[in-house]
Structure 1
Amino acid sequence: MREENVVQGALPPAQLGVDETLSVQVQNWLEVQCSQIPTALGGLVMLVDAEGLQPEALWPDAKAVEPLLDLSERAGARREGLIAPLPSSDGFGIAWPLMEDGSLIAVAALAIEVGDDAALQTIMRQLQWGAAGLQLLIVQNLSGYARDRANALAASVDLLAEVLAASRFDAAAMALVTSIATRLGADRGSLGLLEGEVIKVAHVSHSAQVGDSVSLIQRIEAAMEEVVDQRLPIAIPMIQRDDEAPIRIAHERLVLQERGAIMTIPLFQDGIAVGALTVERPSYFPFSSAEMKILESVAALAVTALLDKKRSDQPLARRALRELREATERVMGRDRKERRIAAALALVLVVAALLAPGTDRVSAYAQIEPRQQIILAAPFDGYVRSASSRAGDPVKRGAVIAVLDDSDLLLERARWESQVNRYGGEFQDASATQDRVQINASSAERDEAQAQFDLANAFLMRSVLKAPFDAVLVSGDLSQRIGAAVTKGEELFRIAPRGAFRVDLRIPESRIADMRPGQRGLLHLSSLPSQPFRFTVGNITPRTLADGGETYFIVEAMLDSRQSLAVLQPGMKGVAKVVVGRGWLLGIWTRDISNWLRLKLWTLFG
């Protein structure tokens, strides 16, 4: 085996697309090359695509070039020309890689029958020279392909801008079909959208003169359904494609009526067919594969924006129903039997759960309040001397809470004490002289002085404010008023017995009729969310509270004394739930809306 190294050190294969007309050109090149070599047994050209080297042209048949496949693969992998004897043959195989910018784009190979090395070298040089022409041909086609793709992208962006610029769906659809018809030189452009199981023509370009031709619209719709069913574009005259030739009965019927060239492409969104686009122009101006690709690119880019505008134009209720239907179709498609069964079972379970009996509860904001409160007021006009406790402090029975200044009271008591002694002496002197008038006067003055003296003592005792029982101070703080004046009867402190609490529930007006004394419930406080407190509804008061436009009734409840209440403090807030009965879960969950609806209907219709 002989090998001649020609090109080395190339980059990995590039993934290149190839225009359809390139196949014919490559086949022609190969036939000319083989005809110029009398000893040629076969020829093969392989082009690089996304999956690697693929046969693009062969001569004279597949059996003759089968030995060249492996040699071409090796030449492409090594990026160098190779000469090797053919298996089970007296001939040789010659393979030459074609490079562009360091990347492999193709491999040309020949099977020849020669008798000496000189002839072999001559054929090798001829293949090299011919490969240069093939390389130029491929590069030119690839450049044209890139240019077509750039033009397609530019057209797509321009059309998308026109669609987005329109504020409503009708204007956007008309702009799309009119612009496509104008750019392609078409007489008519038609946009059809899928409605249920059939396609309906939504808009026709401004150049069309459809009039009242119902049959023409029906034929266009049939052609659109034909491409949607097959998920393939169709053009008449037929454009050669790699795909299997599609069925085109509806298109042929449309051609018989319109006598022109027709092209229809399906429209997809997220892989789901949503409609089709049809363009028509004179028969002497058939559509090309490049135009078909451009139209497909334009449609793929514009269809999403177009459908978004269509959805935005729909009424809210219809939009919601459509979204629900689409979500249902995505979850329970025709090919998803297991999901449909699971959804049916879930629906049955939900209905059963809604019709199942449940506990009806009334939720309410709640606040801890003392069951009894006592006010400690100032016994006389005076001044604050000291304060040892303030709001929130627990106090024992007899504990000093605050002391008022008693200087004036001590002087007052001393004055009246001297008066008692004076009038007592005068009473004794009058008794000794048996002066009855003086006796009566002295006795009355002595009794008055004694009463004032006792009153002064009482005030002195009351100047020290003490807790009458074990309690907690609910309000009051004299520690910031030392030396300040207080007036007789002024509220200084409010105290409540320790552990004696009630719960004030704010029941909404719509649920007050469900409340009954003796009903039980649970309370969770914001400061103690993990500790529930049991209570029993006691008094349903007529007191109301307005908050946020709603009216609430105050219902008093008693806490269960068998649970620990030492952690509670007046003013604590939380949420309470009162058990008011049992009923269907559906009725419980929809009570508020059903009551509101019932009231509105009565207001409107009496």
Structure 2
Amino acid sequence: MTAKLSSLPGANDPTQSARTESVPEFASVALRSLAAALGYRQFDQSARAFLAEVAGGLGCARVSLGFFEDGAIRVKAASQDVGDFRVELYRDIGDAMEEAIDQRRALQVPETGVGAPAIVLATQRLRSRLGGVVQIVPIRVKGEWIGAICCEWDGKTTITPIAQEPLTHIIDLAGPVLYLLYRDARPGSVQLRETLWRGLKRLGQEEGRWWRRGLLALLMLVMAGLMVPVQQSVSARAALEGAVERAVVAPIDGFIGLVKVRPGDPVKYGQVVIELAAQDLELEARRWEAELSQHESAYMAALARSERGDMMVSLSKAEEARTRLDLARRSLERMQIKAGIDGVVIDGDVTRLQGAPVARGDVLLTLAPANGYRVVLSVDESRIGRIRSGQMGELLLGAMPDRALPIQITRVTPMAQVIDGSNVYRVEATLEGAAPVLRPGLNGVAEIETGREPTLKAAWRWLSDQARMLWWRWGG
């Protein structure tokens, strides 16, 4: 499909010479060049096909494509190889493209004389290479000037260059397509750098004033997090124990008879807390009393008959019965289990076990003094390295959530134990100052002060610790 001069925009311009009949109509060139650009998935192949189609359709000696990169125009593709003059030529082409983009308009040398005059110093320097006509059209995508296309005709061609307006239509049609392909083909580092560059440019504009304020506020927060120290702490589960604990055990084998105390009840030294069933021992004691009386009577009868042999046998049996009787009586005395200290029952609810058998040495109750306590913390293994003896903290018990009790670390046990599926270390602490009325066995949470340091430093340490643990768990 061909077109005459009268069918092209700008054909009536007196400075334009007549086009030959072999020059295609610009619409046909635009469609063929766009189809060539869309025929490839890679940017390099797509750009070369597009530029070659434009050069062939418009009779150009060379067509070049350039995009902004690192704040300057970089020539990314050309319709033909430029040989040994690549560096100097690409520099001249890039300067000419920047000249057009800076003025936000298409440039042509020689100028047509229509419209306002333009600055074409770099474009004229580029024209001196081929001696023909140079046309440069900027590429604009979403209101942003991102590159340009440069068309060059040499002085020997018989084809009159196309007017700027049709060429602009071709670029407006295919330019965004080429830019999308170019943007997707860039390395990740280049894309990140380009994004940062655009962001910095936007910050310097009026529309970026809120971004500037937000960035300043974020910078101030980061500086505060790096420079302002705050108190750091380690939290752990805590339980209240007696400073001294005394176990109440079964002195002999027997059966539980009467239980007089329960956990939480106060007890006094010597108070009977549990009575074992004594029926069997009482019967045994009566039996030995009867045998003792029988053997003593036999002894007296043998003594009266002067039968020395029977007398010695009866005396021996009487001594055995007396010993058995003393043992039964002492066992009866131990049927009453008494408290060994003044304190509180903190463990062992045996009221529901009346009549149940017990063996000698079984722990029935646990007693603790009512005025001496120690705090036991269960510190996770990931935080135990920050705990030291002498550190201060606060204890918040579930029974008194409105009052924090001061504590001081006294001992860190170097042995770990598993509680609820986690490795924890036992840490002991003492209550400081006057303590309210407490009971051993109370549970709560403790906060141990580990020193002052910037918040961001503490957060970075926590993140690094978690990352190392994950790396170790996954076999790193």
1:522 aligns with 2:398: no
* Counterpart Cα distance in 2 of 1:325 and 1:527: 59
Query: In structure 2, what residue type is equivalent to 1:181?
Result: L
Match of 1:227 among 75, 100, 108: 100
Aligned to 2:296: 427
1:300 aligns with 2:189: no
* Counterpart Cα distance in 2 of 1:496 and 1:189: 96
Query: In structure 1, what residue type is equivalent to 2:283?
Result: A
Contact 2:97 2:136 (C-alpha < 8 Å) held by counterparts: no
Match of 1:217 among 90, 98, 105: 90
Deviation at 1:218, TM superposition (A): 0.9
Aligned to 2:286: 417
1:444 aligns with 2:319: yes
1:577 aligns with 2:448: yes
* Counterpart Cα distance in 1 of 2:266 and 2:237: 28
Q: Deviations over 1:21-59 (max 9, x none)?
A: 99999xxxxxxxxxxxxxxxxxxxxxxxxxxxxxxxxxx
Query: In structure 1, what residue type is equivalent to 2:293?
Result: G
Deviation at 1:564, TM superposition (A): 4.8
Deviation at 1:231, TM superposition (A): 3.3
Structure number with greater CO (CA < 8 Å, separation at least 6) is 2
Contact 1:373 1:496 (C-alpha < 8 Å) held by counterparts: yes
**Paired residue secondary structure (1:216):** helix
**Paired residue secondary structure (2:127):** helix
Task: Label 1:433 to 1:458 Cα distance change in 2 as closer, same or farther (>3 A).
Answer: same
1:280 aligns with 2:280: no
Contact 2:250 2:359 (C-alpha < 8 Å) held by counterparts: yes
Deviation at 1:221, TM superposition (A): 0.6
* Counterpart Cα distance in 2 of 1:387 and 1:161: 95
**Paired residue secondary structure (1:445):** helix
Query: In structure 1, what residue type is equivalent to 2:430?
Result: M
Query: In structure 2, what residue type is equivalent to 1:454?
Result: R
Deviation at 1:419, TM superposition (A): 1.3
Task: Label 1:255 to 1:322 Cα distance change in 2 as closer, same or farther (>3 A).
Answer: closer
* Counterpart Cα distance in 1 of 2:104 and 2:261: 87
Deviation at 1:229, TM superposition (A): 1.7
Contact 1:173 1:191 (C-alpha < 8 Å) held by counterparts: no
Contact 1:232 1:266 (C-alpha < 8 Å) held by counterparts: no
**Paired residue secondary structure (1:516):** coil
Q: Deviations over 1:207-248 (max 9, x none)?
A: 42122312210111112212332234446687999x966544
Deviation at 1:305, TM superposition (A): 6.1
- Normalised TM-score (structure 2): 0.63
* Counterpart Cα distance in 1 of 2:400 and 2:182: 56
Aligned to 1:535: 407
* Counterpart Cα distance in 2 of 1:567 and 1:306: 75
Q: Deviations over 1:94-140 (max 9, x none)?
A: xxxxxxxxxxxxxxxxxxxxxxxxxxxxxxxxxxxxxxxxxxxxxxx
Contact 1:376 1:465 (C-alpha < 8 Å) held by counterparts: yes
Matches within 5 A, 1:71-220: 162=40, 165=41, 172-185=42-55, 189-201=63-75, 203-205=76-78, 207-213=79-85, 214-220=87-93
Query: In structure 2, what residue type is equivalent to 1:470?
Result: V
Task: Label 1:382 to 1:425 Cα distance change in 2 as closer, same or farther (>3 A).
Answer: closer
Task: Label 1:229 to 1:346 Cα distance change in 2 as closer, same or farther (>3 A).
Answer: same
Matches within 5 A, 1:243-262: 247-258=119-130, 259=132, 262=135
Q: How many residues align?
A: 421
Aligned to 1:457: 332
Task: Label 1:485 to 1:510 Cα distance change in 2 as closer, same or farther (>3 A).
Answer: closer
Q: Deviations over 1:552-584 (max 9, x none)?
A: 754321234635575985554x4523244x567
Task: Label 1:313 to 1:341 Cα distance change in 2 as closer, same or farther (>3 A).
Answer: closer
Aligned to 1:559: 431
* Counterpart Cα distance in 1 of 2:296 and 2:189: 111
Task: Label 1:322 to 1:251 Cα distance change in 2 as closer, same or farther (>3 A).
Answer: closer
Aligned to 1:368: 239
Task: Label 1:221 to 1:22 Cα distance change in 2 as closer, same or farther (>3 A).
Answer: closer
Deviation at 1:414, TM superposition (A): 0.6
Matches within 5 A, 1:322-337: 327-332=199-204
Query: In structure 2, what residue type is equivalent to 1:558?
Result: T
* Counterpart Cα distance in 1 of 2:440 and 2:64: 77
**Paired residue secondary structure (2:267):** coil
Q: Deviations over 1:340-397 (max 9, x none)?
A: 79977986886577445x455442434325244444555555677899999xx64443
* Counterpart Cα distance in 1 of 2:259 and 2:194: 73
Contact 2:101 2:147 (C-alpha < 8 Å) held by counterparts: yes
* Counterpart Cα distance in 2 of 1:477 and 1:541: 32
Deviation at 1:536, TM superposition (A): 1.2
* Counterpart Cα distance in 1 of 2:400 and 2:180: 53
Deviation at 1:445, TM superposition (A): 2.4
**Paired residue secondary structure (1:515):** coil
> CA-atom RMSD, angstroms?
5.6
Contact 1:417 1:449 (C-alpha < 8 Å) held by counterparts: no
Deviation at 1:276, TM superposition (A): 0.9
Task: Label 1:388 to 1:430 Cα distance change in 2 as closer, same or farther (>3 A).
Answer: closer
Task: Label 1:323 to 1:291 Cα distance change in 2 as closer, same or farther (>3 A).
Answer: closer
**Paired residue secondary structure (1:184):** helix
**What percent of counterpart residues are identical?**
17
- Normalised TM-score (structure 1): 0.52
Task: Label 1:351 to 1:444 Cα distance change in 2 as closer, same or farther (>3 A).
Answer: same
Task: Label 1:509 to 1:327 Cα distance change in 2 as closer, same or farther (>3 A).
Answer: same
Unaligned runs of 5+ in 1: 1-20, 26-147, 166-171, 597-606
Task: Label 1:547 to 1:424 Cα distance change in 2 as closer, same or farther (>3 A).
Answer: closer
